[in-house]
């Protein structure tokens, strides 16, 4: 059944394009995170969720 459906379609290039786009985004994210100097660039965001100085006081 699967081979019958795949033999009748002209869109067999779409999964290859989707894989290429995913791979390009993945490699781009790795380059962004692992580039030299990234540790210093993200150091101020390390404890952002735990920092209460920027939040409004409720009472």
Three-state SS annotation for 12-55: CCHHHHHHHHHHHHHHHHHHHHHCCCHHHHCHHHCCCCCCCCCC
Tokens (6 digits) for 4: 């019958």
Structure token digits, residue 1: 């059944």
Q: Could you read off the pLDDT of 6-27 as tens digits, one per residue?
A: 677 777 788 899 999 999 999 9
SS3 1: coil
pTM: 0.58
* Tens-digit pLDDT profile for residues 16-59: 999 999 999 999 999 998 998 888 888 888 888 887 765 555 54
What element of type H or E holds 41? helix 38-41
Contact yes or no for 26/33 (Cβ under 8 A)? no
């Amino acid at each position: 059944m699967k081979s019958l459906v795949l033999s009748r379609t002209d869109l067999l290039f779409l999964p290859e394009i989707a894989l290429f786009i995913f791979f390009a985004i993945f490699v781009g994210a790795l380059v962004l995170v692992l580039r030299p100097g990234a540790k210093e660039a993200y150091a101020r965001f390390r404890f952002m969720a735990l920092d209460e100085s920027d939040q409004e006081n409720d009472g």
